[in-house]
């Protein structure tokens, strides 16, 4: 049990996908303008991460390792994630429109999100069991969502301020991200 907690906290906070591993940065700046968008995006990334972790674990252990072709995992994982997202989207679209609207456009957009590919590759390289993979994916998704929500909260407040013209928009967001990253490095000594 303590191992699960360690994995979860490690991926959610200490080795946070955005601020420490620098994965999924384009969506971090693209979607962190509004709190509601950030929530949708965080939810969608968490869901896709968990589904992708399960399926890629199965493929890794039933196909890639027995045939000795682990070096092909990047290309196969990309293929699997892309089609998985399509399947999930198709299913949600036809069965639950409320949920589909909550995810919005972000579900198809994260087909090529590197944070999702990152979690599957981390799971493969760390030799996690299937349960550990799921916990790691949950941790990664939650960590991603937390940072996105914090950032969007700050950026909503930044809209009210009057920075110099050259700093408006992205530049000031970059500085905010830097301070946020420094703050998250404080978690480094936790485990």
Partner 1 sequence: MWWIVAILTGIGLALAITILIINKVVPRKVQGIEKIEEIASVMPGMNCGACGHPGCFAYAQALAANRDSIADCKCALVIREPEKLEALQQIFGQTLDLSNMKRRAVVQCGGNSEVIFNYSGAMTCKGAAQLQRGNKQCPYACLGIGDCVKVCPEGAISIEPETGVAAINWDKCTGCGLCLLECPQKVIKLVPEDTKIGFLCNYAPLRDIPGREKCEAGCIHCRKCFLACEAGAITWNKEKAVPEFDARKCTLCLKCIDACKQKVLRVVVDKEGKEVVACAAVPERTK
Residues making contact with partner 1 (CB under 8 A): 59, 63-64, 67, 69, 72, 75-76, 79-80, 83, 86-87, 90-91, 93-97, 101, 104-105, 108, 159-160, 162
- Nearest residue (CB) to partner 1, 76 versus 114: 76
Instruction: Find the shortest distance in angstroms from Cβ 72 to partner 1.
Output: 7
- In whole angstroms, the minimum distance from the beta carbon of 188 to partner 1 comes to 37
Q: Rounded to the nearest whole angstrom, what is the least distance from the CB of residue 122 to partner 1 in the complex? A: 21
Cβ closer to partner 1: 2 or 95? Answer: 95
CA 38 to chain centre: 12
User: Least distance from C-beta 109 to partner 1, angstroms?
Assistant: 8
In the complex, what is the shortest distance from the CB of residue 23 to partner 1, in angstroms, rounded to a whole number? Answer: 23
What the block records as the tokens of 177 is 């991200």
166: Cα separation from own chain's centroid: 31
The residue (of 68 and 189) whose beta carbon lies closer to partner 1 is 68
Token pair in block for residue 135: 């916990």
Q: How far is the CB of 162 from partner 1 (least distance, A)?
A: 5
Decide whether 87 or 179 has the Cβ nearer to partner 1.
87
Please name the residues in contact with 111: beta carbons below 8 A apart, sequence gap of 6 or more: 81, 82, 85, 86
Whole-angstrom Cα Rg for the chain: 17
Q: Which two tokens stand for residue 142?
A: 């939650």
CA angle 25, 28, 32 (to 5 degrees): 165
Give the distance between the most distant pair of CA atoms in the chain.
Answer: 60
CA pair distance 5, 153, nearest whole angstrom: 27
Q: Which is nearer to partner 1, 164 or 189 (CB)?
A: 164
Contact 122, 135 (CB under 8 A): no
Query: Closer to partner 1 at the Cβ: 3 or 157?
Result: 157
Are the beta carbons of 132 and 7 closer than 8 angstroms? yes
């Amino acid at each position: 049990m303590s191992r699960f907690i360690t994995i979860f906290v490690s991926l959610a906070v200490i080795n946070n996908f955005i601020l420490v591993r620098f994965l999924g940065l384009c969506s971090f700046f693209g979607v962190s303008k509004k709190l509601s968008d950030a929530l949708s995006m965080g939810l969608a990334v968490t869901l896709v991460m968990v589904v992708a972790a399960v399926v890629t674990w199965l493929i890794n252990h039933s196909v890639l390792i027995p045939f000795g072709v682990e070096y092909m995992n990047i290309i196969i994982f990309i293929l699997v994630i892309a089609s998985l997202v399509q399947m999930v989207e198709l299913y949600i679209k036809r069965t639950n429109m409320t949920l589909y609207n909550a995810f919005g456009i972000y579900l198809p957009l994260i087909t090529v999100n590197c944070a999702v590919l990152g979690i599957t590759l981390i799971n493969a390289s760390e030799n996690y069991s299937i349960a550990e993979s799921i916990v790691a994916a949950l941790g990664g998704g939650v960590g991603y969502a937390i940072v996105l929500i914090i950032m969007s909260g700050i950026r909503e407040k930044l809209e009210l301020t009057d920075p110099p013209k050259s700093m408006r928009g992205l530049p000031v967001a970059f500085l905010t991200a830097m301070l946020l990253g420094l703050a998250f490095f404080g978690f480094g000594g936790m485990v």
